[in-house]
Amino acid sequence: MIDQWDKTIHDRKFDNPAGESQEIEHSIILTIIGGNEIDFGKHFLLEKKKILMGRDEANDISIHDEKISKFHCEISIVKNKQGIEQIFIKDVHSTNGTYVNGDLAEQTTLHAGDKIQIGDTVLSLSYNDELEKEYHAKLFNYAVRDTHTGLYNKRFILNELENISRIAKRSGRAFSIIIIDIDDFKQINDLHGHLAGDEYLKAIALLFVQSLREQDIAGRIGGEEFLIILPETTIDGAFQLAIRIRMNVENLVLNYHNHQIKTTISAGVCQYENSIKNITELLDIADQALYETKRSGKNKVMQALLAFNK
């Protein structure tokens, strides 16, 4: 949901000391350098000859900025007769316009270093080789990943939840969330030390990732608490997934310094509905279901609706 790794190769030739002509490969990249701080550093590799950019999920590049039109602008990559790539940007009747280097642009040529502004979002165009691409990817991951587990951090995943809830409110698409808490995690730290606790967090995070689809999003939102967002998923599907994760965790054994460490999880599941005012209320409902599992004995999964109908 975050990176679009479509790849376009930009070939350039240079003469090496031996006089031979060699080709080096460069990728055309758009990087978000201004706007929503959560999106800062997000980058998109351009592969298609035409790339549509806007707020709607149907775009090749979708940016969650309320000031961006659903279908805002189009980027075209064209080779001239000499085989040199030229890049053009065209506004597609957006509400707030498309700006290049501060100037309103109906249609114009783009060059490396140009700044494109749509809504409150500013993107920079660049040609990057593989090392530069990897560098930007690492910078972005450092900003959005939890250092202990490698899952998304709280700031990023709550922003994603906000974005997905806005899309669901407009489109009527279903999505669900799971809040997971590790049962008796303090005992692991007390008995085996905090380093053992860190290793267990890594192991359980890997288990979560292995259980999810590509479009699902998992993050750490507290010391031993996790949030999983499941786009296009009803509560029944989310409930079944949460049960599978609970069973997998129950069977998980971490071997650490000749000790076998294991515990269980409790989980609360909730589906987003239009009657829910905001993500705070959504999280509160799922958290209440989680509380009910803890109160009734742990190592359980409970749907929010079941919790409130008792």
What are the catalytic residues?
224
DSSP assignment of 75-93: EEEEE-TTS-EEEEEEE-S
Angle CA 292–293–297, to nearest 5: 115
Task: Give kind and range of the element (H or E) at residue 125.
Answer: strand 121-128
Q: Which residue has the tokens 């998992």?
A: 218
User: 283, 130, 167, 158: which is closest to 219 by C-alpha?
Assistant: 158
Q: Which residue has the tokens 């290793």?
A: 199
The 8-class DSSP code of residue 145 comes to B
Q: How far apart are alpha carbons 269 and 73 in whole angstroms? A: 38
Q: Which residue has the tokens 């998109």?
A: 44
Q: Which two tokens stand for residue 200?
A: 């267990």
Cβ atoms of 204 and 218 within 8 Å: the answer is no
- Cross-strand partners of 211: none
